[in-house]
Amino acid sequence: MATNVQLLKDALRKEGLLYTPQRQIIWDEICKTDDHRDAEEIYFKIKQGGHKVSRATVYRTIDVLVKNNLVRKLELGDGRNRYENKLDSSHHDHIVCIQCGRIDEFMDENIEKLQDEIAKKYQFKIVRHIHQLFGLCRDCN
């Protein structure tokens, strides 16, 4: 947890923002699990934990964390963004069960390379990508 404090402090300093209890509480909550939770879930978990942090602060802080690469925003196209901490997970994409909501992670070096080639071909400078497979997991199929 000590490093979590430092990572947050560094990010905030880089942004010219202050280190505050609320921001630490939010970052801690996000680090607690490796789930893919939306902002409301994170907000309510913090509330449940007995802390008083406003919804606005949760959203604002998550934006800072995303911007500084501590958190990854997941857009599954269902109208709400989900977030995962990037503490010890390397780059990966997601494979989602449309039945039970289960989210697995995958990574394929070859696909990454092919993406780079496409970017070159279209003369785009890629800054991020979304790659999600939707279907039925083994249990639901």
Partner DNA sequence: TCTTTAATGAGATTGAGTCTCAAAAGTAAT
Partner DNA sequence: ATTACTTTTGAGACTCAATCTCATTAAAGA
Residue 100 interacts with its own copies (CB under 8 A)? Answer: no
* Alpha carbon separation from 79 to 34, 35, 69, 82 (Å, rounded): 21, 18, 22, 10
Residue 127 interacts with, from its own copies, DNA, none (CB under 5-8 Å by kind): its own copies
Residue 11 neighbours by CB under 8 Å, 6+ apart: 64, 65, 68, 69, 70
Does the protein bind its own copies through residue 114 (CB under 8 A)? Answer: yes
Alpha-carbon distances, residue 89 vs 13, 19, 35, 86 (angstroms): 23, 25, 12, 5
The most distant pair of C-alpha atoms in the chain lies apart, rounded to whole Å, by: 53
Nearer to its own copies, 45 or 72 (CB): 72
Residue with Cβ nearer its own copies (5 or 98) = 98
Tell me which of DNA, its own copies, none is bound by residue 63, counting a contact when its beta carbon lies within the kind-specific cut-off of 5 to 8 angstroms: DNA
Minimum gap (Å) between residue 54 Cβ and DNA: 3
Choose, by CB under 8 A, the member of 33, 35, 104, 120 that binds its own copies.
Answer: 104
Q: Which residue, 23 or 94, is less far from its own copies as judged by CB? A: 94
CB of 33 vs its own copies, minimal distance in Å: 21
Q: Is the dihedral of CA 117, 119, 123, 125 positive or negative?
A: negative
Q: What is the distance between the alpha carbons of residues 88 and 127, in angstroms, rounded to a whole number?
A: 21
Binding site residues, its own copies, CB under 8 A: 75, 77, 81, 95, 97-98, 104, 106, 108, 110-111, 114-115, 118-119, 121-138, 141
